[in-house]
Amino acid sequence: MNAKLAMVAIAVTLCAQTSVASAGTLAILDVVGDKDTKKLRKYLSKRGRHALIGALGPNWTVLTRSQMKERLGKGSIRCLTKGACSPGALRALRADRYIGGELTRFGKLRLALSMHEGASGRALGAKEIVADDVDGLVDRVGDAYVSL
């Protein structure tokens, strides 16, 4: 099965889980982790955001990074870059759902993603990718975001 077909299948599953008629706003927070992985973390977040934009369809809005910065204001930008989101900052995003992640490296690369409800912070799902190298991680990150 090619990658586009797999993403469509995952998106259909996601729509079935959340009801096709549902609509909302999704915020993708930057992946957090060690300083030496900053460029990779930013790239993974961007790749996940683009995968979701392509998969969710017109009923969902995936906030761009600049839209999130605008909603948060200067004082809360750490929420995007450091994962230090207070409940108030998350409410300021005015997103129905948000996805955050953490990248760790202990022999292998591990990306742990989680999706939460915007209003309550209740966990809605989690996904972990383990790869031997950066290419293995990058190849699977879009599918991981979409499968949440």
Residue 103 has pLDDT above 90, yes or no: yes
* Region of residue 73 (phi > 0: left; psi between -120 and 50: alpha; otherwise: beta): left
* Region of residue 121 (phi > 0: left; psi between -120 and 50: alpha; otherwise: beta): left
Task: Quickly state the pLDDT bin for 80 (edges 50, 70, 90).
Answer: low
Task: Quickly state the pLDDT bin for 2 (edges 50, 70, 90).
Answer: very low
Q: Which two tokens stand for residue 115?
A: 């999706």
In this structure, are residues 29 and 45 in contact, taking their beta carbons and an 8 Å threshold? yes
Q: What is the pLDDT at residue 139? A: 92
Q: What is the pLDDT at residue 77? A: 62
- 66 versus 1: the higher-pLDDT residue is 66
In this structure, are residues 146 and 7 in contact, taking their beta carbons and an 8 Å threshold? yes
Q: What is the pLDDT at residue 120? A: 83
Residue 79 has pLDDT above 80, yes or no: no
d(CA 132, CA 59): 36
- Record the pTM: 0.78
Q: What is the pLDDT at residue 81? A: 61
